[in-house]
């Protein structure tokens, strides 16, 4: 959720952000109108509440005088006059009470409308983010090794699934048998390769100062909403209706909720966490896309980095996360590029996102392996995560980035395949996998 003060002070920046995303600019004016109604109702409510207190005091005084007059045996005409004043005071108090209740209801209604509109509003993109949709990214660099010339090496590259089935690394058919399409088994060396990737990623995070956390993969609606995953992508999320819990598609969600409703200490610098978790995504709307192999699946493993920092440090932390991701890709010895994702392809919480995409030889193109997002104060504002300052408290910034996922196996197998059907293991993975070459029946 963005800061309402920012919208009031600079609505044009919010409109420009919506335009860059290709989304409705009118929501900015709708939010400001609801905010004005809420503030106006609250102001009038407070004014009438003060008047109500004065009227109640008057009623009390008149009733006291009436009681005293009766007790003292005052003349009937004096008692009658006091009763008339008391009745008028009570009637005025009743009218005020009704008006106060009406204003309270109007303020509550405006508050609910404002909250609903604010939850629909995505983060404001950072200046410099390219406008447009999925294809409007800006390529920042190509890196790693150059794509191999398989023709010069004398053989036609196989795709990752053909390699994996030849080596006995994956079993797609049994995944479908026990679940449905887009589920799979990793087997033998395949399971070990996946685990080796995750362990290298965790070690990389640890070496760079991240604290490892084991996280829940089920979270409640408050945390799921707070992290920004029920706004426009609710159809991607698996929900356990009986328990009112959600399966997470990334440990980012649980890590975002780790310090919910807390005041954290950032005097010694950002808090950096990492987690390995099983992730679940419905892949709604992806019918017919990437149906072969494990590029787009419902369940996978992922190592995520997550940072809490001061808002002014967020852009520097974003660059750090990107460097960690690039370090992992360099260690995997595969060609890749870094792109600045266009505004229309950002998730709601992200103000900027960099993707690292690996070269997939059989597809002749780059495919996403990692993302890192600067969510500024969007998630922390929803989840109530603050830091203490000299002037009180303020909302912190959050960022996230991926160090490895099961999908990396695609790029590893295709880029390191050899003419004899085996696959060379990158040197950085050898200590974790225990072999330099993947071979058939290698267990």
Name the residues annotated as catalytic: 281, 296, 368, 371, 407
DSSP 8-class letter at 22: T
DSSP 131-142: PSSGGG-EEEEE
Q: Long-range contacts: 51-60, Cβ < 8 Å, 24+?
A: 51/96, 52/93, 52/96, 52/97, 52/100, 55/89, 55/92, 55/93, 55/96, 56/93, 58/89, 59/86, 59/89, 59/90, 59/93
**Kind and range of the H or E element at 403?**
strand 397-405
Q: List alpha helices for 129-233, DSSP H.
A: 150-153, 160-167, 172-178, 189-207, 221-226
Q: Show the CA angle centred on residue 209, arms to residues 139 and 375, nearest 5°.
A: 45
User: How far apart (Å, rounded) are the C-alpha atoms in residues 272 and 321?
Assistant: 10
Listed in sequence order, the residues at least 6 apart from 293 whose beta carbon sits closer than 8 Å to its beta carbon are 159, 160, 161, 164, 170, 172, 410
CB 336 within 8 A of CB 142: yes
Listed in sequence order, the residues at least 6 apart from 302 whose beta carbon sits closer than 8 Å to its beta carbon are 250, 251, 276, 277, 279, 402, 404, 405, 406
DSSP 8-class letter at 40: H
User: How far apart (Å, rounded) are the C-alpha atoms in residues 75 and 130?
Assistant: 86
Secondary structure class of 96 (helix, strand, coil): helix
Residue the block writes with tokens 């799979």: 184
User: How far apart (Å, rounded) are the C-alpha atoms in residues 388 and 310?
Assistant: 11
Listed in sequence order, the residues at least 6 apart from 9 whose beta carbon sits closer than 8 Å to its beta carbon are none
Helix count (H) and strand count (E) of the chain? Answer: 14, 18
Q: Give the largest Cα separation in the chain, rounded.
A: 121
């Amino acid at each position: 959720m963005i800061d309402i003060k920012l919208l009031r002070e600079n609505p044009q920046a919010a409109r420009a952000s919506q335009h860059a995303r290709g989304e409705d600019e009118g929501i900015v004016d709708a939010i400001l109108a609801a905010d004005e109604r809420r503030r106006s109702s609250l102001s009038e409510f407070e004014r009438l509440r003060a008047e109500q207190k004065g009227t109640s005091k008057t009623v009390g005084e008149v009733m006291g005088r009436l009681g005293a007059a009766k007790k003292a045996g005052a003349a009937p005409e004096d008692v009658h006059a006091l009763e008339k004043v008391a009745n008028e005071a009570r009637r005025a108090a009743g009218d005020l009470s009704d008006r106060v209740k009406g204003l309270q209801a109007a303020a509550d209604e405006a508050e609910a409308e404002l909250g609903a509109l604010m939850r629909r509003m995505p983060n404001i993109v950072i200046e410099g983010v390219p406008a447009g949709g999925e294809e409007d990214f800006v390529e920042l660099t190509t890196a790693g090794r150059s794509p191999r010339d398989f023709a010069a090496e004398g053989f036609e590259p196989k795709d990752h699934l053909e390699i994996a089935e030849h080596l006995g690394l994956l079993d797609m058919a049994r995944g479908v048998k026990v679940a449905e399409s887009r589920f799979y088994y990793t087997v033998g060396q395949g399971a070990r390769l996946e685990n080796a990737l995750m362990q290298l990623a965790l070690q990389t995070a640890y070496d760079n100062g991240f604290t490892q956390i084991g996280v829940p993969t089920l979270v409640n609606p408050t945390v799921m909403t707070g992290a920004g995953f029920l706004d426009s992508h609710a159809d991607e999320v698996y929900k356990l209706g009986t328990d009112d819990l959600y399966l997470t598609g990334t440990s980012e969600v649980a890590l975002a909720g780790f310090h919910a409703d807390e005041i954290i200490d950032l005097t010694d610098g950002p808090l950096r966490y990492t987690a390995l978790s099983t992730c679940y995504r419905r892949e709604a709307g992806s019918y017919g896309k990437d149906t072969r192999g494990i590029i787009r699946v419902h369940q996978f493993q992922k190592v995520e980095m997550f940072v809490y920092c001061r808002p002014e440090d967020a852009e520097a932390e974003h660059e750090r996360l990107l460097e960690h991701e690039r370090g992992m890709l360099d260690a995997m010895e595969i060609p890749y590029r870094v792109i600045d994702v266009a505004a229309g392809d950002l998730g709601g919480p992200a103000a900027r996102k960099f993707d690292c995409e690996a070269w997939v030889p059989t597809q002749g193109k780059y495919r996403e392996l990692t993302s890192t997002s600067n969510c500024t104060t969007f998630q922390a504002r929803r989840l109530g995560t603050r830091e203490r300052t000299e002037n009180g408290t303020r909302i912190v910034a959050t960022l996230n980035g991926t160090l490895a996922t099961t999908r990396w196996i695609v790029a590893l197998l295709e880029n390191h395949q050899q003419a004899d059907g085996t696959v060379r293991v990158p040197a950085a993975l050898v200590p974790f996998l225990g072999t330099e070459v993947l071979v058939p029946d290698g267990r």
